[in-house]
Structure 1
């Protein structure tokens, strides 16, 4: 008599199923609990992801400390402790889990956590702090007003101010909170909005790009975007800015506010689609924002042709530069070596499956060695600043910071500027991190 034996996966490329977020079952608590128990039981028996983030140690401790020492001994209310530690980095799905689709167990841990966050949000179980921190356009616009800007940055720099932030908002007093600028990128580069240009096509690239500035790249570190513009135009790639834009929706996705994600999609996609139709490719220097348009929105709206079109024309900056280089269209006239560079490859860049494009570009600079750290920084936008998660974020970043410290490089940073700042914070070297785009500009002597 033939028997069916479940085999381990990872022998085939992972398949991501569309997110059925508009169905009634998606928000049904009993259905969610059943799926959480099924998946947690598989994770408990595997435990390969224990080193990735705090969700898995939390789950395994709950199981090991239960009376039965199995998932059925864990109280359903304690499931939320696992959910709250997940920041949807996707590394478990992409790099560790042997049971992802097309395996018959069909395990997608990040999207199950997203479903749980959406249920929690719909139930109204969300802190005011989290609503504020994920409203990046609103916070950035207010903090960018010159008088308000000075006050916000002064509070951020003051010990008493940081204690007040913790008491009022639950932002940990020791966490690194980014400064805000009044001269945003969209203000200083507004002449680029609506410009016309001709690009030289090469491979899948048109040779001209629209820069999705991102909230962080507009309000917090516009200098990195300025570096991107300088580097691209040095290789003959004209850069424009969208007429208008709003947050890509990733912070609201991580909160579980999927209707807000839809609203962001409805605002951004038509504008980006018009740029694509006019021959512009799209780049963004924040990996999470690129991933939002490359993966999350296409999975939420698989039938939306405009979403799929934008997906096909948005690129990580270093992915774009390497595509140009393969066709002889990248300026390689570097003026200055970089020496020893070590950088953390951000999670949301790694799961784009584009390879080590940042390393490949930086390695073109003569007399430069590049070391990659492929491990999560533990920042995730808002996770690392929250009072209850700061210690966990610092625990996660510690091995990364240790690697940087041991290497004693000439330059260090991350593809994600927030992750780079978090690593510098862990090293006690706030502000010393350098984004790879900034390093490339340095190498060009621009």
Structure 2
């Protein structure tokens, strides 16, 4: 059989049998890693994606035989440590994914290894705390306390303590807590529902996300202003917990299940009532669109939420195709360097944010520079002491590309990414590399600006 046979179809994904009898069998997992790593060593197409593949190939090249059999299996964990489950190797690079007979799923093999390590108790308490976004966000919105916490966290002493106790690199950018939570300040809209044969649902439910709720509520409020301007009624979902992505990246699948059990019954109600569910953070959107359906493939409510979940720009562009989006843009954006985040790319929706920028550019001045490459931030990976410098190295081509001069020879007026954490990482990386750092704004904030909304 040809190694290419059966692989002319789009990549397909198998469910993760994480409750099966052998999933946590370390011996079987290492055997599968050996099979996959040997294929990757012979291909090396993904060498430029992240640090996991260079780590693997260095282990092989520096081994006794120059082949995988010269690598100590204990060193396989070094590869696992470098994978942040971005899914790009599966979705954009690997020629051997299903339906290819080699059935190669690198990210889910890494997830299995991470889950085994977590179950064995080898994940430190500090890493667990970093992934507990609902816990350290609880101070957000509390008067005086927020200002005090933010002020303390900016001091060298606090950053040094965070480095020694939590493993957070003292040089890494960290988000501040918001003085007002998004969920506390968001009011339900009262616009009428338009239902004239459109493909898009005419009403929206907002899943706030931990980051927007606790750290940058302005992104959420800008989304609400855009929806209101377009006469799209919206509600903020009645209650929510973290989507589970930070725990997923640790391999803590039991915690992912607890988040699912809290969120899915609430979100399924909105899905069944005909709402489009929007999340302004790509990783959270992806969790409901892909990861939960693969972890819980037999649950009808999970699949209902999957069908109802939209990236905001996916929804707004579809709304435009329905002839229901206002295009009364009146404020020029100038030169915009826009970064496509990895968890947006693997949603298989195309460059919807870029489409919106180009739509704006039909009415007012927008000179767009799109950069589609990993910024290196990757959730908590980019802030951890062992990986921060690597994350900066991974992102260096992005930092340079984002600084590309416009037609006037000057740098961009704005830098922007759908991933707010990735956007701040890019801004820091540009500054670290002596590149001019323009204003940073989320694409939803730039869309609100283009509409001329206060």
- Same fold flag (TM > 0.5): yes
1:103-161 alpha-carbon deviations (Å, 9 max, x no partner): 00000111110111101100010011110010000110135543442232123212222
3-state SS, counterpart of residue 26 of structure 1: coil
Tell whether the 8 Å contact from 1:197 to 1:208 is kept in structure 2 after alignment. no
- Which residue pairs with 1:438 in the alignment? 445
Tell whether the 8 Å contact from 1:232 to 1:238 is kept in structure 2 after alignment. yes
3-state SS, counterpart of residue 427 of structure 1: helix
**Match among 368, 372, 375 for residue 374 of structure 1:** 372
Tell whether the 8 Å contact from 2:413 to 2:439 is kept in structure 1 after alignment. no
3-state SS, counterpart of residue 240 of structure 1: strand
Tell whether the 8 Å contact from 2:415 to 2:438 is kept in structure 1 after alignment. no
The alpha-carbon deviation at position 276 of structure 1 amounts to 1.8
2:380 is aligned with 1:385: no
2:87 is aligned with 1:90: yes
1:202-213 maps to which residues of 2 (within 5 A)? 203-213=198-208
Query: Structure 1 pair 312/180, CA: closer, same or farther in 2 (3 Å)?
Result: same
The alpha-carbon deviation at position 5 of structure 1 amounts to 3.4
**Match among 91, 110, 114 for residue 111 of structure 2:** 114
3-state SS, counterpart of residue 372 of structure 1: strand
**Match among 334, 342, 349 for residue 339 of structure 1:** 334
Tell whether the 8 Å contact from 1:294 to 1:312 is kept in structure 2 after alignment. yes
**Match among 161, 165, 170 for residue 164 of structure 1:** 161
**Match among 359, 374, 394 for residue 354 of structure 2:** 359
- Which residue pairs with 2:258 in the alignment? 263
The alpha-carbon deviation at position 63 of structure 1 amounts to 0.6
Tell whether the 8 Å contact from 2:141 to 2:180 is kept in structure 1 after alignment. yes
The alpha-carbon deviation at position 198 of structure 1 amounts to 4.3
Tell whether the 8 Å contact from 1:413 to 1:423 is kept in structure 2 after alignment. no
- Which residue pairs with 2:123 in the alignment? 126
- Which residue pairs with 2:316 in the alignment? 321
The alpha-carbon deviation at position 278 of structure 1 amounts to 2.3
Query: Structure 1 pair 157/430, CA: closer, same or farther in 2 (3 Å)?
Result: farther
2-structure distance, mates of 1:145, 1:117: 36
1:223-234 maps to which residues of 2 (within 5 A)? 223-234=218-229
Query: Structure 1 pair 221/102, CA: closer, same or farther in 2 (3 Å)?
Result: same
Tell whether the 8 Å contact from 2:134 to 2:242 is kept in structure 1 after alignment. yes
1-structure distance, mates of 2:438, 2:359: 26
1-structure distance, mates of 2:344, 2:7: 20
RMSD: 1.5
Tell whether the 8 Å contact from 1:54 to 1:392 is kept in structure 2 after alignment. yes
1:41-440 maps to which residues of 2 (within 5 A)? 41-189=38-186, 191-192=187-188, 198-201=192-195, 203-365=198-360, 366=363, 367-407=365-405, 408-428=411-431, 432-440=439-447
2-structure distance, mates of 1:410, 1:9: 47
Q: Unaligned 5+ residue runs, structure 2?
A: 406-410
TM-score by length of 1: 0.96
2-structure distance, mates of 1:295, 1:69: 37
2-structure distance, mates of 1:270, 1:164: 40
2-structure distance, mates of 1:262, 1:295: 14
3-state SS, counterpart of residue 49 of structure 2: coil
Tell whether the 8 Å contact from 1:336 to 1:445 is kept in structure 2 after alignment. yes
Query: Structure 1 pair 233/22, CA: closer, same or farther in 2 (3 Å)?
Result: same
1:67-110 alpha-carbon deviations (Å, 9 max, x no partner): 01111111111111111111111100011000000000000111
2-structure distance, mates of 1:394, 1:144: 31
3-state SS, counterpart of residue 367 of structure 2: strand
The alpha-carbon deviation at position 368 of structure 1 amounts to 1.4
1:340-361 alpha-carbon deviations (Å, 9 max, x no partner): 2111101111111101110111
Tell whether the 8 Å contact from 1:199 to 1:206 is kept in structure 2 after alignment. no
| Paired positions, count | 440
2-structure distance, mates of 1:368, 1:354: 23
